[in-house]
């Protein structure tokens, strides 16, 4: 590991060394090559001094973007129509964000039908995992289906992300991303670029919603590993500083009427640390009125949709910029005038190979 890419705190210690030494106390028999930090984890907090933790907490700024005003207004107007017993389909869908609002409309229509059944199935615990994944939050099935290049695939699909390289032990091209075995854990729902074989968003589902059950904790461990693989692989493939600074990756654990979102992004001060955040859970009520919790859950999922869409679009835009830069280099090679230019006309990136220096106090 390149220690020049470690996150060095003001007191002199590096975060990577603290985490590594803590792992040794638990008799870890493997080499640490990556780390995750959850600022809500009390065990992680105890590893650092109060001053160190306060310094690190400056990066705990996980905020989801607000929805466009037209979308927020549509959510409120649709809720008012449902509360008054009117047809939600009569609420005009704004053209500015038609796709998102149509996803919302589909969820409302599905819920309204199930809430009118006597007894309402949302109050029944003796139902299957497939029922809950299909009916509890139907918006998830098509959350990113309108994003160019992405397909929402459900039904225990094998993930593409694996830590295992093809032909491990052989020499690899250091200029190209390592080729990996196209096999990972089984996933209940995945947003996949089927053309370029990339995963961007995953969902793990269970029959019941219980955040303290051993089954939940087991699935949660699988989910964070899969999300870490997706995030780290996309960052390796697209080393653009802009992409590394702004890319946000999400996974969702769902069960019964509830779901919980996990976000992961790169640490700006380290090449080996990922920052992870768990958002508050959302639970679908067993009765319809007053339709507030349903709207809050839909709002959160639309915010996640916006972040993932921006990340995918940024990845593609950075790839196009790199291709244009390569074409410009080829043009320069065909024109011998460049050999007479002064070196002062060029801007060198002295931080190549390591994160750009940043002032912690100003971040």
Please, which residues have CB within 8 angstroms of residue 36's CB and are 6 or more apart in sequence?
224, 228, 264, 273, 274, 275, 276
Dihedral over alpha carbons 134, 137, 141, 145 (to 10 degrees): 160
Structural domain contains residue 183: yes
**Which one of 59, 78, 101 terminates a domain?**
59
Structural domain contains residue 293: yes
Same domain, 55 and 75: no
| pLDDT given for residue 353 in this prediction | 43
Same domain, 25 and 155: no
Same domain, 49 and 92: no
- Report yes or no: 177 and 237 within 8 Å, Cβ to Cβ: yes
| pLDDT given for residue 219 in this prediction | 72
Same domain, 54 and 78: no
Helix (H) or strand (E) holding 78: helix 69-83
Same domain, 150 and 32: no
Same domain, 32 and 88: no
Structural domain contains residue 231: yes
Same domain, 54 and 154: no
Exposed, middle or buried: residue 39 (CB in 10 Å: 0-12, 13-18, 19+)?
A: middle
| pLDDT given for residue 4 in this prediction | 85
Structural domain contains residue 340: no
Same domain, 22 and 89: no
Read off the pLDDT of residues 69-110 as tens digits, 9 standing for 90 and up: 999 999 999 999 999 999 999 999 999 899 999 999 999 999
| pLDDT given for residue 363 in this prediction | 40
**Which one of 38, 59, 80 terminates a domain?**
59
Beta strands in the chain (DSSP E): 35-38, 150-158, 186-193, 198-206, 249-255, 258-266, 273-278, 282-283
CA distances 212 to 52, 178, 252, Å, are 30, 38, 16
**Which one of 59, 81, 97 terminates a domain?**
59
| pLDDT given for residue 21 in this prediction | 87
State which residues of the chain have pLDDT below 50.
346-363
Q: 308: which 2 tokens?
A: 């993932």
Beta strands in 247-338 (DSSP E): 249-255, 258-266, 273-278, 282-283
Same domain, 50 and 79: no
Same domain, 92 and 14: no
Rounded Cα gap, residues 147 and 104, in angstroms: 16
Structural domain contains residue 339: no
Structural domain contains residue 171: no
Same domain, 86 and 144: yes
Rounded Cα gap, residues 276 and 224, in angstroms: 9
Read off the pLDDT of residues 123-182 as tens digits, 9 standing for 90 and up: 888 888 888 888 999 999 999 999 999 999 986 655 555 555 555 555 555 555 555 555
| pLDDT given for residue 250 in this prediction | 98
Structural domain contains residue 326: no
Same domain, 197 and 55: no
CA distances 156 to 162, 164, 187, 190, 238, Å, are 16, 21, 5, 9, 28
Total domains in the fold of the chain: 2
257 is in which domain, residue-wise?
69-165+178-316
Structural domain contains residue 343: no
| pLDDT given for residue 223 in this prediction | 87
Rounded Cα gap, residues 59 and 270, in angstroms: 12
| pLDDT given for residue 203 in this prediction | 93
pTM score over 0.85: no
């Amino acid at each position: 590991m390149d220690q020049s890419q470690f996150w060095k705190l003001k007191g002199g210690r590096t975060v990577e060394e603290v985490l590594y030494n803590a792992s040794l106390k638990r008799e870890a028999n493997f080499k640490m090559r990556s780390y995750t930090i959850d600022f809500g984890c009390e065990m992680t907090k105890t590893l650092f001094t109060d001053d160190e933790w306060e310094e690190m907490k400056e990066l705990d700024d996980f905020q989801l973007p607000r929805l466009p005003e037209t979308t927020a207004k549509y959510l409120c107007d649709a809720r008012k129509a449902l509360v008054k017993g009117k047809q939600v389909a009569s609420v005009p869908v704004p053209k500015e964000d038609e796709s998102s609002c149509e996803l919302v409309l589909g969820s409302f229509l599905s819920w309204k039908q199930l809430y009118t059944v006597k007894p309402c199935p949302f109050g029944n615990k003796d139902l299957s995992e497939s029922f809950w994944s299909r009916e509890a939050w139907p918006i998830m099935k098509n959350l990113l289906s309108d994003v160019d290049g992405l397909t929402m695939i459900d039904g225990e699909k094998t993930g593409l992300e694996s830590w295992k390289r093809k032909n491990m032990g052989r020499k690899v091209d250091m200029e190209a991303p390592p080729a990996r075995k196209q096999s990972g854990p089984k996933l209940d729902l995945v947003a996949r670029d089927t053309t370029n074989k990339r995963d961007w968003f995953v969902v793990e589902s269970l029959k019941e919603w219980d955040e303290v059950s051993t089954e939940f904790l087991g699935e949660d461990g699988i989910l964070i590993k899969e999300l870490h693989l997706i995030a780290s692989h996309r960052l390796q493939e697209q080393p653009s500083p802009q992409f590394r600074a702004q890319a946000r990756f999400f996974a969702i654990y769902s069960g019964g009427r509830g779901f919980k979102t996990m976000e992961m992004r790169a640490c700006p001060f380290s090449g080996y640390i990922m920052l992870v955040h768990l958002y508050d859970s959302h639970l679908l009520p067993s009765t319809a009125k007053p339709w507030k919790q349903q709207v809050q859950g839909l709002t959160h999922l639309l915010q996640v949709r916006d972040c993932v869409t921006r990340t995918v679009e940024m990845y593609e835009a950075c790839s196009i910029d790199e291709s244009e830069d390569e074409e410009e280099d080829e043009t320069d090679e065909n024109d011998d005038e460049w050999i007479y230019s002064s070196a002062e006309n060029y801007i060198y990136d002295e931080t190549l190979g390591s994160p750009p220096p940043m002032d912690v106090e100003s971040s």
